């Protein structure tokens, strides 16, 4: 994969999870949401399951947004290897989500991510991870092939997906994770109460009834000054990862994330 602008669409397609695929809804432009997470951060666990999932299951509100999830978080490249904040298990969990994004339809990818966040704490060894990925794949994507996902997890394809998610994440300069952008702007309010943050972006006439609700669990700022797992890498240290020639596509079989996903 070239780092030049001519192949930018490839990186753009690979690096995100598109849960909603239409640009407009009933004449109103969708709210663009980008979420940068990692699988073993407790605050990411909270955000994915307590903030994002209820909104995702709310069809009326889900239809108002274009959601993209990047699983890399506070990881970094040290040499040619990825180092994750909470160890190799987190790296594998992140890659599993990135691989599901590529191989599953959008709604299946979303439910796979929720399943992984629910189950990754129980993983102890590689065989446990494979079982968790297989189980989440089968429950979240019935009828879809699991084998390509499993091959992706520990193969070159998975390293490519990780590299592309890394590029997108590092470009934000995230100071912690989950790091949420709403219409391209960092939104602390979306990290604390996602439903409310979406609703205030919508014109009154297009707000669904659920906008009268708020998240059941409200988070206050943590002692370190913000919500989330702090990024341990300085900006200069992360530049090493940015400039690395990481994994290149090794074959012509390179599909964008969600390429076969159905419109929801």
pLDDT at 96 over 80: yes
Which residue range is the domain that position 62 belongs to? 5-24+39-211+219-243
51 in a structural domain = yes
Average pLDDT over residues 15-34: 59
260 in a structural domain = no
145 in a structural domain = yes
Sorting pLDDT into bands at 50, 70 and 90, what band is 81?
confident
202 in a structural domain = yes
DSSP state of 72: -
158 in a structural domain = yes
Number of Cβ within a 10 Å radius of residue 118 = 15
* Segment 209-241, tens digit of pLDDT: 889 875 555 555 444 445 789 998 877 777 655
pTM for the structure as a whole: 0.80
253 in a structural domain = no
Sorting pLDDT into bands at 50, 70 and 90, what band is 244?
very low
261 in a structural domain = no
pLDDT score at 29: 85
pLDDT score at 150: 94
pLDDT score at 63: 92
Sorting pLDDT into bands at 50, 70 and 90, what band is 80?
confident
What is residue 259's three-state secondary structure? coil
Q: What is the largest CA-CA distance in the chain?
A: 52
pLDDT at 11 over 60: no
Instruction: Count up the domains in the chain and report the number.
Output: 1
Percent of the chain having pLDDT more than 90? 57
Integer Cα distance of 210 and 163 in angstroms: 37
142 in a structural domain = yes
Check if the beta carbon of residue 253 is closer than 8 Å to that of residue 10.
no
Average pLDDT over residues 59-88: 92
Residue 73: φ, ψ to 5°: 65, -125
Lowest mean pLDDT among 6-15, 22-31, 117-126, 186-195: 6-15
């Amino acid at each position: 994969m070239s780092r030049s602008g001519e192949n930018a669409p490839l990186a753009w397609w690979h690096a995100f999870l598109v849960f909603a695929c239409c640009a407009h809804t009933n004449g109103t432009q969708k709210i663009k949401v980008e979420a940068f997470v990692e699988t073993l951060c407790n605050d990411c666990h909270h955000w994915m399951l307590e903030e994002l999932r209820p909104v995702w299951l709310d069809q009326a509100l889900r239809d108002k947004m274009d959601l993209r999830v990047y699983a890399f978080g506070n990881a970094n490249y040290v040499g040619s290897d990825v180092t994750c904040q909470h160890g190799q298990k987190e790296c594998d969990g992140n890659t599993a989500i990135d691989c599901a994004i590529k191989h599953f339809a959008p709604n299946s990818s979303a439910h796979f991510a929720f399943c992984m966040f629910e189950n990754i704490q129980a993983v102890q060894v590689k065989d446990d991870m494979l079982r968790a990925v297989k189980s989440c794949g089968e429950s979240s994507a019935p009828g879809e092939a699991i084998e390509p996902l499993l091959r992706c997890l520990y193969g070159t394809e998975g390293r490519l997906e990780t590299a592309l998610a890394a590029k997108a994440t590092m470009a934000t300069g995230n100071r912690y994770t989950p790091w949420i952008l709403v219409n391209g702007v960092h939104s602390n309010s979306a990290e604390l109460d996602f439903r409310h943050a979406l609703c205030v972006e919508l014109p009154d006439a297009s707000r669904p009834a659920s906008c009268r609700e708020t998240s059941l669990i409200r988070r206050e700022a943590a002692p370190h000054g913000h919500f989330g797992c702090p990024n341990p890498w300085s900006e200069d240290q992360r530049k090493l990862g940015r400039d690395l020639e990481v994994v290149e596509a090794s074959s012509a079989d390179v599909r964008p994330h969600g390429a076969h996903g159905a419109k929801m």
